Amino acid sequence: MLKKNNAPPKPLSVKRLFIWILLFLVVTILALIIIERKKEIDELRTLPVPGRLVTINGNQKVHINCTGEGKQTVILESGMGGTSLDWVRVQPELAKKTKVCSYDRPGYGWSDEAKSERNASVSADDLYAILQASDARPPYVIVGGSYGGLISRLFTQRHIKQVDALIQIDPSHESDLKLPNDSPEQLSKTDFSTSTYLALDVISSYLGIIRANSMNSYSKDDFRTKEQLAMLSSPKNFRTMLREYNSLTKSTTLVRDNASSFNSLKVDYLLTSNRYIRKADFCHISIKCTVKSSGNEDHLIPQNNPSLIYSVVTEALQSN
């Protein structure tokens, strides 16, 4: 007759407990990534495209939104992490004057992600290809905001005969590459910390954390709809922003080392008040250059002070 085993069960070892916890975390993370990816695909499929998709570089779909009619075409170039939606408070009014085009650089918004390096030189070439593939015809008035200032400078330099005016909205600039009070050690530390912060944003976007935070903090005063904001919280956008940031020094160096005079091309700078005090650093590229102050330190001029941009662009249109 078999004896009944009344021995108490063995307690779960620390090692086995750790394995089970690790397995649970892995499964949870994979589930969150799959859910986020499905949401990203569904949004791109169902969210209406404001403009149209054109093909560049063989098979890459890029979104461009052109409105209005006129002899000149205003091109709106967004900053790092920005999309065509950054200009929704600027474009409608300008479109009453002439043709205006905003677009999503590869990797942002409704545009396919690019495999090529994301520096300003590549983006300037992409912009030319996008304009060639669309109905946006010269002469152009190029408006570059923030990081888009570097792209618009390189584009103008390469296609100056097709450009009537260049407008820089608190742009990234070669004088920002190394300020007098910044030691190489401090610059390296700043670059590393920002890059790390953006990398954490990429990870958070994969897990749906960015999307959840965006939805929880959404305000009806936002210039984007709730659905658009959710779409912009996708990993694709944050991967592209990290790639652009990691190429920022190269982009700025390319602009600095290839800087050439635009002769008598109309160039206007609209700077925040804290940068306006350095206005002497900016107006060396054209004999027809002006620098204006936005009157405050708010860098998000297209979103929060669109009338200033309307005024500067309208003046440029009337001068040609």
Q: What tens digit of pLDDT does each residue of 7-50 get?
A: 566 566 777 777 777 777 777 777 766 766 666 666 666 678 89
Instruction: Give the phi and the psi of residue 311 in degrees, each rounded to 5.
Output: -65, -45
- Position 187 scores a pLDDT of 45
- Position 43 scores a pLDDT of 63
- Position 154 scores a pLDDT of 96
Query: 168 near 147, Cβ under 8 Å?
Result: no
Q: Is the pLDDT of residue 281 over 50?
A: yes
Q: What is the mean pLDDT of the chain?
A: 85
In-domain check, residue 164? yes
3 state SS of 89: coil
In-domain check, residue 39? no
Instruction: Give the phi and the psi of residue 252 in degrees, each rounded to 5.
Output: -65, -40
CB within 8 A of 112, min separation 6: which ones? 60, 61, 62, 106
CB-based burial, 254-285: b 16+ in 10 Å, e otherwise:
bbeeeeeebeebbbbbbbbeebbeeeeebeeb
CB within 8 A of 115, min separation 6: which ones? none
pLDDT confidence bin for 189, thresholds 50/70/90 = very low
Q: Is the pLDDT of residue 180 over 50?
A: no
Q: Is the pLDDT of residue 166 over 50?
A: yes
- How many structural domains does the chain have? 1
Task: Tell me the CATH number at 194.
Answer: 3.40.50.1820
In-domain check, residue 87? yes
In-domain check, residue 40? no
In-domain check, residue 278? yes
Phi-psi region of 111 (alpha: psi -120 to 50; beta: other; left: phi over 0): beta
Q: What percent of the chain has pLDDT over 70?
A: 85
In-domain check, residue 22? no
User: Which residue has 């090692």 as its token pair?
Assistant: 15
In-domain check, residue 23? no
Q: Is the pLDDT of residue 217 over 90?
A: no
Query: 53 near 110, Cβ under 8 Å?
Result: yes
Mean pLDDT comparison of 22-26, 127-131, 255-259, 290-294, highest-scoring range: 127-131
Q: Is the pLDDT of residue 206 over 70?
A: yes
DSSP letter at 280 equals G
Q: Is the pLDDT of residue 150 over 90?
A: yes
Task: Give the domain range for residue 185.
Answer: 52-318
CA 264 to chain centre: 30
User: Which residue has 């618009």 as its token pair?
Assistant: 152
Question: CA 126 to CA 199: how far, in whole Å?
Answer: 25
- Nearest alpha carbon to residue 303 among 204, 229, 250, 207: 229
- Position 107 scores a pLDDT of 94
- Per-residue pLDDT, averaged over 302-316, amounts to 94
In-domain check, residue 231? yes
Question: CA 170 to CA 284: how far, in whole Å?
Answer: 16
pTM listed for this prediction: 0.82
